[in-house]
Chain A
């Protein structure tokens, strides 16, 4: 389910580009071509980590903390690379101590393109499309004994960012997006030992809302 949808979103962004290029003002393209951003949000688990296990079985959601850098190629196009670290909210744990110990993580790295869309009133929207790799680790700690379930595989991200601060070097605004991928490998670490291997095909997604702050350097 994931990859056809991502391809569709990429096509939407590319098809939209001529019109956007024709209409777009040159407001954002300055001599400073680097933009660094930080982002905080929440992403909800959908789909399956592997055959027989949904991501929501082991996650109430993740809280992505993202850092990224983009380089403007033109008024409307940029390349972007980023890393996302997201604590995972566990579904099982008995008390506060165990719950804090059971917080897992979702880590992803990606590279992609940024396409500036036509400004709307005082907002300057843009679409990011990235591909990368994702590692999800969930844990249950019970009275100090730990069991971990991990998966990793390719992921793609489509995200809309609306810059509400169009003047000056700073960029601030909300994001809405979806990361989708499939895990190709799993690891199971129990108190009795570890195992791992290839997973049966299953797709998952993280629809997400967030807030991004950036600065042009």
Chain B
């Protein structure tokens, strides 16, 4: 360690900057946290009032109460004893629909239907390839599952009885993708990235690719949607975030680069705030989105270097994952809404 001496503010400031890396927020340590949990997708369920945390190698879906921070675990998913430092094991993605939760499991290669009231898996189906993200499509009562190792989105139809196991229906080929997935129920579209440079829009009824838009990324990662305002957010590993106007041919409304190492992003429509957790920066960056779709920097707080995922709840909190500590952190967003 180099020790610098001086009376000016420079040296203390630099030392503080070098050493001040304590994560910010309230930590929620999940069951079986040690030696770490490979998180990926985080979601928030307004109807359950819970943050949904697929807890990777532990084989549980953890539901976190955003007020009390109490954790409820639903077991029965694939388990792996060791922690690889990545997020390739067990349940890693979840979405809500029909009052149920749909969870993809990378260890078993299955999609599981979960009854949150019973706290149990009620049915399962094997997937065509290794899953990444699952999203419920209300308009068609389907589940769309991205399977990047097969360059496809697998589509499963749901029965009138939603507890019955979903049935494979079709695949949509997405070469050099798909990365991330968000459903635009208002416009009947799904949006997903190719790994570099572009985002595609897919008609959920016809399953046809409608458009392909520049997203400003060298390495495409996170996606989020402000359905009401028609803003699609694309975040890049290198730290760039762009706003695309889905109602106007994916026109890029704004681009900003802050932090780096982003992956799964969160968005709070009531605040117009976008949350970006970065591994390379060890930070949680908040960007504001104006009514015109312009991005502005709101704040940056320290996070763990093992973070890469974020989500927003509806109570003014941002959440970020801490893989090495097997935890999620709640950060109160006190900044005014960016409308």
Contacts and interface: CB of A to CB of B under 8 A. Distances in A.
Interface of A: 1-2, 4-9, 46-47, 50-54, 56-58, 91-92, 94, 140-147, 149, 176, 178, 180, 188, 190-193, 195, 200, 203, 205, 207, 209
A57 to B, nearest CB: 4
A94 B280 CA distance: 13
A1 B14 contact: yes
B47 interface: no
Contact of B260 (A8, A58, A191): A58
Nearest to A2: B10
A177 to B, nearest CB: 11
B237 A51 contact: no
Contacts, number: 135
A100 to B, nearest CB: 15
Interface stretch (B32-40, B71-79, B86-94, B216-224): B216-224
A92 B260 contact: yes
Given A46-B18, A191-B218, A207-B2, A4 B240 contact: no
Nearest to B10: A5
B260 A57 contact: yes
A146 B218 contact: yes
A188 B257 contact: yes
Nearest to A149: B257
B280 A5 contact: no
A149 B214 contact: no
B217, B260, B285: most-surrounded residue (chain A CB, <10 A): B260
A180 B214 contact: no
Contact of B10 (A8, A53, A54): A8
A58, A146, A147: most-surrounded residue (chain B CB, <10 A): A147
A57 B283 contact: yes
A151 B292 CA distance: 27
B195 A57 contact: no
Contacts of B252: 192-193
Contact of B218 (A2, A9, A147): A147
Interface string B1-13: 0101011111101
B11 A5 contact: yes
